[in-house]
């Protein structure tokens, strides 16, 4: 069903056809804006972004720079299951797994790189993670760097806890801690 909108353009009146009066009215509008902003620079809605951070709206906070959560014992929560790497539509995650020598039941990422220059900030990795190890809630907006290499996040740059973490709640966390406390029994 095509909807047709009939536009009812009024024909120009004699004053409008002279054009000069309309020019003056247009100039009045723009000059009003000019002087209002000229004498009240602070009143403009512009935010000087990197220096002057602005709160992100709602769920946009969950689409910011990645981080890897850390357990209470300092080990990464990530178990190098490759779920995020598989889910990533932009192929920006690179993981190399390794085993704890004392605990062969659990792996850890020896290398965990996120190439932010490829990342599409879709949040699929967060959705895919079974361990709740990766999160995108740092509220930092990446970008604006002088070299491409600065857009490569390596493991050390990713490992970070927010205030109030590590939380000792949660099954995965508890089980892992119990494992380690038991000295990695088989």
Partner 1 sequence: MIAQFYQAHSDILLFAGAAAVKVLVLLNVIMGFTALLTLAERKVSALMQDRIGPNRASVFGFAFDGLFHPVADGIKMLVKEDFVPAKAEKLLFTLAPFFALVPVLALFAFIPFGDYVMVFGYQLDLQIAQMPLSLFFVLAFSGLAIYGVFLGGWASKNNFALLGAMRGVAQMVSYEVVLGLTLVGLMMIFGTAGLQDMVRAQGRLLFGFLPGWGVFYQPVAFVLFLTAAIAENKRTPFDLVEGESEIIGYFMEYSSMRFGAFMFAEFIEIILVSMLATTLFFGGWQVPWLYDTGFIFPWGSTLPLNHYLVAALQTGAFAAKTVFFSWFLLVVRWTLPRFRFDQLMALCWKVLLPLALLNILVTGAVLTALK
Residues that bind partner 1 (CB under 8 A): 20, 23, 26-27, 29-31, 33-34, 37-38, 41, 44-46, 48
- Per DSSP (E only), the strands in 27-102 are 67-68, 93-100
User: Which residues have a Cβ under 8 Å from the Cβ of 110 and sit 6 or more positions away?
Assistant: 80, 96, 97, 98
Measured from the CB atom, the residue of 6 and 41 that comes closer to partner 1 is 41
152-168 burial, b if ≥16 CB within 10 A, otherwise e? bbebeebbebeeeebee
Instruction: Give whichever of 31 and 154 is closer to partner 1, judged by the CB atom.
Output: 31
CB of 16 to partner 1, least distance (A): 14
CB of residue 124 vs partner 1: minimum separation in angstroms? 35
Shortest spacing between CB 54 and partner 1, in angstroms: 15
Q: From residue 93, give the alpha-carbon distance in Å to each of 4, 7, 39, 51, 155.
A: 49, 52, 50, 29, 11
The nearer residue to partner 1, 28 or 111, going by C-beta atoms, is 28
Q: Which is nearer to partner 1, 19 or 91 (CB)?
A: 19
């Amino acid at each position: 069903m095509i909807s047709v909108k009939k536009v009812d353009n009024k024909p120009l009146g004699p004053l409008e056809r002279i054009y000069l009066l309309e020019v003056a009215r247009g100039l009045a509008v723009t000059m009003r804006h000019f002087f209002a902003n000229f004498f009240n620079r602070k009143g403009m809605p512009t935010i000087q972004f990197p220096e002057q951070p602005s709160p992100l709206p709602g769920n946009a906070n969950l689409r910011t720079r990645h981080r890897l959560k850390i357990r209470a014992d300092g080990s990464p929560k990530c178990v190098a299951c490759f779920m995020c790497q598989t889910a990533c539509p932009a192929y920006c995650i690179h993981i190399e797994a390794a085993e704890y020598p004392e605990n062969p039941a659990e792996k850890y990422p020896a290398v965990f790189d996120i190439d932010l220059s490829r990342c599409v900030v879709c949040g699929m990795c967060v959705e895919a993670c079974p361990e709740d190890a990766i999160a995108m809630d740092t509220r930092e907006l990446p970008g604006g760097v002088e070299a491409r290499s600065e857009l490569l996040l390596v493991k050390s740059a990713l490992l970070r806890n927010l205030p109030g973490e590590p939380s000792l709640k949660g099954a995965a966390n508890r089980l892992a801690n119990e494992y380690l406390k038991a000295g990695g029994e088989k």
